[in-house]
Copies of this chain bind each other. A is one copy, B any other.
Amino acid sequence: MNLEALDTPAAIIDIARMQHNIDRMQTRMNALGVKFRPHVKTTKCAGVVRAQIAAGAQGITVSTLKEAEAFFAAGIDDILYAVGIVPAKLPRAMALKQKGCDLKIIADNAAAASAIVAYCKHANDIFEVWLEIDTDGHRSGLAPDDDALIEIGRVLQEGGIEVGGVMTHAGSSYELNDQEALAALAEQERAGCVRAAERLRAAGIACRTVSVGSTPTALAAKHLEGVTEVRAGVYVFFDLVMANVGVCDANDIALSVLTSVIGHQPDKGWVIVDAGWMAMSRDRGTSKQTHDYGYGLACALDGTPLEGCELVGANQEHGILAVECRDEITKRFPIGMKLRILPNHACATGAQYPEYQALAADGSTIAWPRFHGW
Contacts and interface: CB of A to CB of B under 8 A. Distances in A.
Nearest to A10: B374
B86 A262 contact: yes
A1 to B, nearest CB: 13
A364 interface: no
B335 A111 contact: yes
A355 to B, nearest CB: 8
Interface residues of A, number: 58
A282 interface: yes
A87 B335 contact: yes
Given A335-B115, A336-B87, A372 B374 contact: no
A273 to B, nearest CB: 9
A154 interface: no
B8 A86 contact: yes
Interface stretch (A26-34, A192-200, A219-227, A346-354): A346-354
A99 interface: no
Contacts of A9: 374
A368 interface: no
A122 interface: no
Interface in A47-98: 63-64, 83-89, 92
B262 A83 contact: yes
B272 A139 contact: yes
A64 B336 CA distance: 16
Contact of A320 (B63, B139, B352): B139
A316 B347 contact: yes
Most buried by B among A7, A109, A282: A282
Interface string A263-274: 111000000101
Contacts of A88: 7-8, 260, 336
B373 A336 contact: no
Given A7-B89, A115-B336, A277-B283, 14 more contacts: A7-B92, A8-B86, A41-B317, A86-B260, A108-B263, A111-B335, A111-B336, A139-B272, A139-B313, A140-B272, A140-B318, A278-B351, A284-B284, A372-B372
In the A-B complex, the 9 residue pairs with the closest CB atoms: A282-B282, A111-B335, A84-B262, A354-B373, A282-B283, A63-B317, A86-B260, A87-B336, A83-B317
22 contacts: A7-B92, A7-B374, A41-B317, A63-B317, A64-B317, A84-B272, A86-B260, A87-B335, A87-B336, A108-B263, A109-B263, A111-B330, A111-B335, A115-B336, A134-B265, A139-B313, A139-B315, A140-B263, A140-B272, A282-B345, A316-B347, A354-B373
